[in-house]
Structure 1
């Protein structure tokens, strides 16, 4: 009788364990697929060939995880399985919300740059990204916990090492072959530029594995000595670019602002679609609209930021180099030598200021601004917190920021001041009660953003008045530009409703533009320049107007160039002829949105994407440390 009971319990435990394992596989797969489709990395039809490959690859990765757990842990296998389930759930929740804001996956460099002060500063933005349907991530927890406690109480049988080894190796081999076969049909070169492409092709779990492997290889195993061919590649690229620039005779407006002050304002989350736009008969950005009428307005400029977001925009504008594909340059390479705007103007006798009324350690600005050769960094410690508006409700308002900043700068001699605004920051909840009529969008995300943009514009209007009263407006080169997206893809429906258009990928890509306004000293007549470009082109354009050379800049002078393109950090490209999506390997006509034959543009696109590689080599090897400005 006891033997029968023992046999029955043994069979019961084995069946329950079998179900527990299958629940782990099914629920993990469900969570992964939820991530893939809720982020719109993968789209309907759900059983397209690409989606089937992604699903098969995801199952294979989950099978590898299970096989490794059973090989390593034996009697503790269910404990390990339960913990792994919990960790994967946390990772996928983090991925989902990070993706909704940054349109990218969390990677190891991103983890390294996180700290408690940074997390506390963005907690409202993080919370605002959660959606009720995200509860699917924890729907399995009560079931898995109940089954785990039952099994753990009764205990699980030990499995012979030889049996565990043979089964694990078999599953590992079959799953690995499946992944290799599927990955061979993907464009592996795109993996280096786009985490999204690897996730879309082989699933989010594979993408994390691939990025981790790449990180270990590049940072722990690879010889960091600059290879001769890499150095030659960079030198040839810069030489060819400078020859092309010289041959093009970039003389229009050259040196027109030489010796003048340089004032740059990086506008938080200001996107191009609100410029010149009205709602209920009122202009959203009346002051910027007025400034445009007496300035150069570049209406086809795309943000090129990556995981560093605002700090990446700063880096692009001040150095004309691309940000990193993972993590922030400000955190990872703050000890490098850079030939920045501040360093060049400092050598010309300018006093250089960086101004941002927030924690000096956020994005590691305190250290990075030293590397960029700013003489002084005015931060939250230097401002009187007398007025609050915008982000988290406890940040100094842009109105007070501009007013106090001009009192801090020594305007008696040539200066470069770099202002970074703050109020108009995601999630824009602060502006819900702001007095600006947004009609049917009242209380909605897009309505709150429009109010935030209107508030930021009013602060810029007062700033311009202050510049005029101090005699700085006509004695300075003024540059205003937006830093990054304000409307994440999950809020695309509201934006499309506001603009009165239907969503499609090409139009969404075109909406990722930011305003760039450059006002010359004494300029009274405006001009719209529709050259396609990015934030990397700001520095060379300023250099031409102020009459100095930037031999190590990768961008182009937007006023004189014959080239019209923007390379995004994920390897996508936008020109006046086509839009290329690197995460899907799809090419479309810019005007009509019709698919194009990618083979006809392959060489041209590869040449443009190569700029990312050149920039990475320069930054990762501190290649400008032995170069003279």
Structure 2
């Protein structure tokens, strides 16, 4: 037995030796990275080859980076390996947390833009962190203790430089081999627009970081080298794919106010959804089915890493967020835009955005100037905004925020275009007991189950605001548009999603449809109904502008009017997946859109031809949109009847904003307040917010003050039978 132990000891690496400590460090980095791949990320590994690639891919950079220590001797080599291990572990740990919330990986742009979100990021991290996450640091702690207590002793023998160089070279060769195998399984891995999951699955998390830094640098170079000629192919593409205006709707709402309601993290499945037989959003349901509301039930979010910021970018500019990071953060300050606020401002509209948090969040305070917003009413404009009882999560509670927002809307000269950004229905979906009015869902997922409670609160907040609009007279001359900005429950919660949707499990088909968010456009007298056309957030800009009678024919924007009779019903996702009226591609799988039948394009020539054409269309759209953003190409383009925005003309400081508002009211006298003999209409704003003296909520009951007013009761609580015939562009 003793001989056997001696034999094993001779063959077992000596961890006291520098090379032995190196091998141990490589093994530890490899095993914990692979553990994280399997437990914290949804990389969509399929088959033996992809599993082999996943096992292999943590090794090359672990070898390359840790081999740096082999060029040093003694204790320096040991502590350098521990430091390199620590840096890789911090990177792994950060991505585990970020992925859990956003289903994506950290990028250089996201890290650089941390200042725009850091004030609230900690609130989310506190909710999503798990004790098991800290296992990535366990080996480092053990190694440090072993070294400090001399269980592992420093090797004073110098590692030959030749051996160190060969070790580094081996890591590089291993990386190239891995890339070769990956490229064979997934062609065009680094040249086409893929989901970041693909990059990590095939190449590795560290390789993704290097690739992302390269792409970020490449993007910066693109802007420097761009010129006016780069717009020609884009203009030709947009001309070839232009959709006709709908004669029945074009200009129908000309001259009316527009109030865009940003429904934070609100998904389509919430419409008509019930918990224990109780409607989660009874007021929004009624609004959705109103005979004067155009509602779209195949409308998808198309955001990337910028999430909320990407949604705003698409709605206001007709451009996608970029493949990495937030375009608002990276380009909002410096780029030229021809956005909806500026377009309407030059048509005689007053433009304003309202948000109950700090102005710098997502770089809004700078981007909104580039977009041409006259006013940005943010946290400094709201009384008691710093009161902890008035805030939750990412800003002011919606009921309090909307009531305070009414004070500014009633002073805006009409017509006006405004965007109201709600925040209470934001992860982690916490709500104080006094504002809860419906039971949680029972999925056993604590991240998910509170979602319906904050959604209900948002629903009540909207109803209170709508009641005030009707009493003040604002409702009669306004278009009210509501949109969900992105998913509220990420697809990392598959078991909970299955329970919420009444299924045993979820497929990629289910997850694609999980990306649906509401879009509704309402105005008194508007011919409404539920429209089944396939569209997304990129299509909002032309839809709204056409309703107001403003053509987008000369605009560089990538959406198509959702009401157009010849629109292409193709919805690109930021990662290159897509949904069309006939087929969909999601997570590497293909389905028949209407039935959910999984197909293999190679086995169906007709399907393959359509899918290839659709993919080409999607790839071009995303690439050209990125070209406009990264090259700042709109600086070379001057549409008809549009004056370039000068950001120096705008200031969102409270004193200057209020001074301008008073001046404009004296000059125009068209505001709601002016129409009421300069008396405020806020006395008509009724809220049951307990913080403002309202009655506390009762679970599973909607308080009477949160019901839609009686003027809406006969406006069409239609169940489809009495609705305007649905529009199906597929014909």
Same fold (TM over 0.5): yes
For 2:311, which of 310, 313, 317 is the aligned residue?
Answer: 313
Q: Which residue in the other structure is 2:571 paired with?
A: 566
Q: Which residue in the other structure is 1:196 paired with?
A: 197
Q: Given that residues 344 and 417 in structure 2 are in contact (C-alpha distance below 8 angstroms), is that contact kept between their aligned partners in structure 1?
A: yes
Q: Residue 412 of structure 1: CA displacement?
A: 4.5
Q: Which residue in the other structure is 2:361 paired with?
A: 362
Q: Which residue in the other structure is 2:638 paired with?
A: 627
Q: Given that residues 228 and 633 in structure 2 are in contact (C-alpha distance below 8 angstroms), is that contact kept between their aligned partners in structure 1?
A: no
Q: Given that residues 341 and 372 in structure 2 are in contact (C-alpha distance below 8 angstroms), is that contact kept between their aligned partners in structure 1?
A: yes
Q: Given that residues 272 and 279 in structure 2 are in contact (C-alpha distance below 8 angstroms), is that contact kept between their aligned partners in structure 1?
A: yes
> Distance in 2 between the 1:154 and 1:54 partners?
33
- Report the 3-state secondary structure (helix = DSSP H, G, I; strand = E; otherwise coil) of the residue aligned with 1:270: coil
Give the TM-score normalised by the residue count of structure 2.
0.78
Q: Give 1:419-458 correspondences, 5 Å limit.
A: 419-430=420-431, 434-438=436-440, 440=442, 444-458=446-460
> Distance in 2 between the 1:171 and 1:411 partners?
63
Q: Residue 326 of structure 1: CA displacement?
A: 1.0
Q: Residue 249 of structure 1: CA displacement?
A: 5.0
Q: Given that residues 271 and 486 in structure 1 are in contact (C-alpha distance below 8 angstroms), is that contact kept between their aligned partners in structure 2?
A: yes
Q: Residue 73 of structure 1: CA displacement?
A: 7.6
- Residue-by-residue CA offset, 1:436-459 (whole Å, 9 max, x unaligned): 123646993333110000000000
Q: Give 1:69-218 correspondences, 5 Å limit.
A: 69-71=69-71, 76-115=76-115, 118-149=117-148, 150=150, 154-187=154-187, 188=189, 192-218=193-219
Q: Residue 127 of structure 1: CA displacement?
A: 1.9
- Report the 3-state secondary structure (helix = DSSP H, G, I; strand = E; otherwise coil) of the residue aligned with 2:599: coil
Q: Give 1:457-472 correspondences, 5 Å limit.
A: 457-472=459-474
For 1:280, which of 258, 273, 276 is the aligned residue?
Answer: 276
Point out the more displaced range, 602-611 or 479-488.
Answer: 602-611
> Distance in 1 between the 2:228 and 2:73 partners?
46
> Distance in 2 between the 1:314 and 1:329 partners?
10
Q: Given that residues 432 and 448 in structure 1 are in contact (C-alpha distance below 8 angstroms), is that contact kept between their aligned partners in structure 2?
A: no
> Distance in 1 between the 2:173 and 2:239 partners?
48
Q: Given that residues 219 and 630 in structure 2 are in contact (C-alpha distance below 8 angstroms), is that contact kept between their aligned partners in structure 1?
A: no
> Distance in 1 between the 2:73 and 2:567 partners?
63
Q: Residue 223 of structure 1: CA displacement?
A: 7.6
Distance 1:390 1:454, change over 3 A: farther
Q: Given that residues 53 and 178 in structure 2 are in contact (C-alpha distance below 8 angstroms), is that contact kept between their aligned partners in structure 1?
A: no
Point out the more displaced range, 509-518 or 156-165.
Answer: 156-165
Q: Residue 133 of structure 1: CA displacement?
A: 3.0
Flag structure 2 segments of 5+ consecutive residues without an equivalent: 1-8, 603-607, 643-731
Point out the more displaced range, 281-290 or 160-169.
Answer: 160-169
Q: Give 1:513-532 correspondences, 5 Å limit.
A: 513-523=516-526, 526-532=528-534
Q: Residue 507 of structure 1: CA displacement?
A: 0.4
Point out the more displaced range, 387-396 or 593-602.
Answer: 387-396
Q: Which residue in the other structure is 2:6 paired with?
A: none
> Distance in 2 between the 1:223 and 1:446 partners?
41
- Report the 3-state secondary structure (helix = DSSP H, G, I; strand = E; otherwise coil) of the residue aligned with 1:418: strand
Give the TM-score normalised by the residue count of structure 1.
0.90
Q: Which residue in the other structure is 1:3 paired with?
A: none
Q: Residue 75 of structure 1: CA displacement?
A: 6.6
Q: Residue 126 of structure 1: CA displacement?
A: 1.4
Q: Which residue in the other structure is 2:616 paired with?
A: 606
> Distance in 2 between the 1:123 and 1:392 partners?
13
Distance 1:562 1:169, change over 3 A: closer
Deviation above 6 Å: which 4+ runs of structure 1?
A: 11-14, 72-75, 386-391
Distance 1:44 1:621, change over 3 A: closer
Q: Which residue in the other structure is 1:383 paired with?
A: 382
- Report the 3-state secondary structure (helix = DSSP H, G, I; strand = E; otherwise coil) of the residue aligned with 2:225: coil
> Distance in 1 between the 2:173 and 2:73 partners?
19
Q: Given that residues 31 and 92 in structure 1 are in contact (C-alpha distance below 8 angstroms), is that contact kept between their aligned partners in structure 2?
A: no
- Residue-by-residue CA offset, 1:265-307 (whole Å, 9 max, x unaligned): 1111111111111122221111111111220111111111122
> Distance in 2 between the 1:423 and 1:399 partners?
9
Q: Given that residues 191 and 197 in structure 1 are in contact (C-alpha distance below 8 angstroms), is that contact kept between their aligned partners in structure 2?
A: no
- Report the 3-state secondary structure (helix = DSSP H, G, I; strand = E; otherwise coil) of the residue aligned with 2:272: coil
> Distance in 1 between the 2:511 and 2:18 partners?
47
1:328 and 2:326 aligned: yes
Point out the more displaced range, 100-109 or 61-70.
Answer: 61-70
Q: Which residue in the other structure is 1:296 paired with?
A: 294
Q: Which residue in the other structure is 1:372 paired with?
A: 371
> Distance in 1 between the 2:167 and 2:34 partners?
27
Q: Which residue in the other structure is 1:508 paired with?
A: 511
Distance 1:435 1:136, change over 3 A: same
> Distance in 2 between the 1:416 and 1:101 partners?
32
Q: Which residue in the other structure is 2:666 paired with?
A: none
Q: Residue 217 of structure 1: CA displacement?
A: 3.7
> Distance in 1 between the 2:168 and 2:375 partners?
59
> Distance in 1 between the 2:26 and 2:163 partners?
21
More helix by share: 1
Q: Residue 499 of structure 1: CA displacement?
A: 2.0
Q: Given that residues 316 and 341 in structure 2 are in contact (C-alpha distance below 8 angstroms), is that contact kept between their aligned partners in structure 1?
A: yes
Flag structure 1 segments of 5+ consecutive residues without an equivalent: 1-7
Distance 1:249 1:379, change over 3 A: closer
> Distance in 1 between the 2:130 and 2:597 partners?
32
- Report the 3-state secondary structure (helix = DSSP H, G, I; strand = E; otherwise coil) of the residue aligned with 1:503: coil
Q: Residue 229 of structure 1: CA displacement?
A: 6.4
Q: Which residue in the other structure is 1:397 paired with?
A: 397
Distance 1:490 1:592, change over 3 A: closer
Point out the more displaced range, 47-56 or 513-522.
Answer: 47-56
Q: Residue 311 of structure 1: CA displacement?
A: 1.5
> Distance in 1 between the 2:592 and 2:191 partners?
21
For 2:258, which of 259, 262, 266 is the aligned residue?
Answer: 262
Q: Which residue in the other structure is 1:233 paired with?
A: 233
- How many residue pairs end up in the alignment? 610
Q: Given that residues 311 and 328 in structure 1 are in contact (C-alpha distance below 8 angstroms), is that contact kept between their aligned partners in structure 2?
A: yes
Q: Given that residues 485 and 517 in structure 2 are in contact (C-alpha distance below 8 angstroms), is that contact kept between their aligned partners in structure 1?
A: yes
Distance 1:402 1:447, change over 3 A: same
For 1:596, which of 595, 600, 605 is the aligned residue?
Answer: 600
Q: Which residue in the other structure is 2:583 paired with?
A: 578
> Distance in 2 between the 1:36 and 1:145 partners?
25
- Residue-by-residue CA offset, 1:87-131 (whole Å, 9 max, x unaligned): 11111111111112221110111111012x732312121121222
- Residue-by-residue CA offset, 1:514-568 (whole Å, 9 max, x unaligned): 1101002333x64001111111111111011111122222101111243212111
